[in-house]
Amino acid sequence: MPGGNMLALALALRLLLPCTGQHHQEEAERIMATTPVIDGHNDLPWQLLKRFNNQLKLPEANLTLLEGTHTNIPKLRTGHVGGQFWSAYVPCDTQNKDAVKRTLEQIDVVHRMCELYPETFACVVDSDGIQQAFQNNKVASLIGVEGGHSIDSSLGVLRTFYHLGVRYMTLTHSCNTPWADNWLVDTGDDPLVHHGLSPFGKTVLEEMNRLGMIVDLAHVSVDTMKVVLNISKAPVIFSHSSAYSLCQHRRNVPDDVLRMVASTGSLVMVNFYNAYVTCGDTATLYDVADHMDYVKNVAGAQSVGFGGDYDGVPGVPTGLEDVSKYPALVAELLARNWTEAEVRGALAENLVRVFRKVEEVKVALQGTAPLETPIATEELEGTCRTHYGYSSTSGASTGQLAPATLALVLLRSLFP
């Protein structure tokens, strides 16, 4: 009878589901054995500062035994993490104070992680280094500076960070810099100042392109996103952001920007933080997969990556409790009929493609001299700074003077 047939079919499907799930999990493990995940943002260095004041040799700071964090070495191995942008993050309250010093200390922490655990971490600075780390079964460890306030509006500091191994910089954190607007401008919590980037901000972007440093647009305002995507010579990343249409949080990426991401060959590395996934206190692995699906559908599979934000957020989804859980998310993507090529792209190949294009732009600009014009002193804030080089008696050219100062010089020359 028809009712009996339907019941038998339902029972058969129920019995098959665990087998299907197991198959997807096995496929995820197989794929990740040769294409491990490169995650765009992990705040373990910040946890090492907060908990141990960066004393990595303390017994309780041992990364093999570390507890109470999303990240440790066994979890990285279980999660098939093959590449990680470690965040050199310092809070916005360091701006105009000791941001540069604090950031240098966090860069140093990443280098010391590689020195203390050479069997696990390989500090790398280019796309070839990532591939070499994969082959050696190590975690390719890259450094991202999270917030333009870390350079204290100095092109010299930006270049120095690059020489120390920094390969992306997030243009803002959750505060404006003297040259870029952050996402809180879009909520009304911070003032609109630059309509994206100031002229000096565009100089910072140009110098990042020249250096071969990836531009990261997580945390910036929508105007900043659009300005950068319109004028950057190289593709950019959102190292840890999700889709605005699924969760209307201003840290996420709206559809018109997703289309710009697609047209520029750029990348959105989807964030796992509950507040950016569901706009609530709780979320699941399936909700994160929804964001990855959405970015894929709007911007294309080549525009999707992983940006877990582990150890930088208070709440992560059920099923993605720590860095060991990436294979479960990959299994879910396979269950949603992502092809193996699309999965490998999201895991690593999309990021490597962007990185290589950034490196190609660097090569194309090799004959270009470093940019030297400093930010106008009037644009700087904070009382704990000197102003060497800005004095008219210091030998600075008129091209380095602020517009108002330059106008005054010209008026005096016309009417002595």
- Would residue 219 show up in a list of annotated catalytic residues for this protein? yes
Q: Using alpha carbons only, how large is the chain's radius of gyration in Å? A: 23
Catalytic residue among 173, 194, 249, 291: 173
Q: Of all helices (H) and strands (E), which one includes residue 199?
A: helix 199-211
3-class SS at 383? coil
> Which tokens hold the place of 288?
């994160």
Q: Of the listed 41, 70, 149, 194, which one is catalytic?
A: 41
Cα distances (Å, whole numbers) of residue 74 to 35, 139, 165, 323: 18, 12, 25, 9
Q: One of 39, 43, 152, 287 is an active-site residue; which one?
A: 43
70, 240, 249, 291: the catalytic one is: 240
Which residues, in sequence order, are CB contacts of 97 under 8 Å at separation 6+?
382, 384
Report how far residue 48's alpha carbon sits from residue 106's, in angstroms, rounded to the nearest whole number.
9
In the annotation, is 108 catalytic?
A: no
Q: Which two three-digit tokens encode residue 155?
A: 């092109």
Residue pair 121/114 in contact (Cβ under 8 Å)? The answer is yes
Based on the residue annotation, tell me whether 387 is a catalytic residue of this protein: no
Instruction: Identify whether 163 is a catalytic site residue.
Output: no
Which of 146, 152, 290, 332 is catalytic? The answer is 146
Residue tagged active-site, from 290, 309, 311, 322? 309
Determine the length of the chain. 416
Helix axes 350-364, 127-135, angle to 10 degrees: 140
d(CA 217, CA 239): 7
Tokens of 119: 């069997």
Strands 121-123 and 139-146 turn out to be parallel
Report the SS3 class of residue 394: coil
3-state SS, 239-291, equals: CCCCECCCCCCCCCECHHHHHHHHHHCCEEEECCCHHHHCCCCCCEHHHHHHH
Contact 242, 270 (CB under 8 A): yes
Q: Other CB atoms closer than 10 Å to residue 233's CB: what's the count?
A: 17
* Cβ-contact 99, 149 below 8 angstroms: yes
Active-site position among 219, 290, 332, 342: 219
- Give CA separation, 374 vs 156, 159, 323, in Å: 9, 13, 41
Look up 173 and say whether it is catalytic.
Answer: yes
Name the residues annotated as catalytic. Answer: 41, 43, 146, 173, 219, 240, 309
